[in-house]
């Protein structure tokens, strides 16, 4: 732990020199606070969603609508966490109808415009927007729900790793009884 403005804070788990707007494949795990089963339950090896679980799933699927340079691969919403593979494409080559000058802006700084305004194009901004959107929905509908403050990411480096992570995500409901997130 380090001091910042005379307060201890947890060090970042991100790679210090890595640009998280770099095109590539990223495995993401986002957990609920205290691993609380807000999103539903596993029944007969299948996920049965709660109302906020359905929203978490719906909003995950909507990420590419707000970030046109993003593709989603395998994902699952589990009782207390979300696993997903996010593909960041080269945003400089992605054309959107939201901003005619995207190419000029992208060459200067990794940001773009969408209906929510100026958006950063890195992984942290995408996850932050997703988490805040789910939390805002829960607050507006008086649904008890909280996220863990951070999230886990892994840069996927090759096809073997990609296939292994896809299988892990796909089989997560089958392995729920032994999952480390199942408290």
On whether the CB atoms of residues 89 and 31 are closer than 8 A, the answer is no
Q: Which domains does the chain have, with CATH numbers?
A: 21-175 (3.30.70.1290)
> How many angstroms separate the first and last alpha carbons of the chain?
26
Please name the residues in contact with 140: beta carbons below 8 A apart, sequence gap of 6 or more. none
CA-to-CA dists, residue 117 to 3, 99, 110, 112, 131, angstroms: 33, 10, 14, 8, 17
Q: Tell me if residue 139 falls in helix, strand or coil.
A: helix
Q: What pLDDT digit, counting tens, does each position of 43-88 carry?
A: 999 999 999 999 999 999 999 998 999 999 999 999 999 999 999 9
The pTM for the full model equals 0.77
Q: What pLDDT digit, counting tens, does each position of 93-118 carry?
A: 544 433 333 333 333 344 444 444 44
């Amino acid at each position: 732990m380090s001091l910042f403005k005379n307060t201890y804070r947890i060090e970042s788990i991100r790679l210090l020199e890595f640009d998280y707007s770099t095109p590539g494949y990223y495995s993401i795990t986002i957990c609920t606070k205290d691993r609380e089963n807000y999103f539903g339950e596993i029944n007969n090896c299948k996920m049965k969603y709660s109302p906020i679980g359905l929203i978490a799933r719906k909003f995950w699927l909507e990420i590419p609508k707000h970030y046109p340079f993003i593709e989603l691969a395998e994902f699952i919403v589990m009782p207390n966490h979300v696993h997903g593979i996010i593909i960041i494409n080269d945003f400089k080559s992605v054309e959107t109808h939201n901003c005619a000058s995207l190419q000029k802006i992208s060459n200067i700084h990794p940001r773009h415009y969408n209906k929510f305004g100026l958006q950063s194009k890195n992984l942290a901004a995408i996850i932050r927007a997703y988490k805040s959107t789910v939390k805002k929905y829960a607050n507006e509908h008086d649904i008890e729900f909280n996220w863990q403050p951070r999230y886990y990411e892994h840069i996927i480096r090759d096809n073997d790793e990609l296939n292994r992570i896809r299988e892990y995500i796909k089989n997560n409901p089958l392995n729920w009884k032994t999952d480390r997130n199942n408290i």
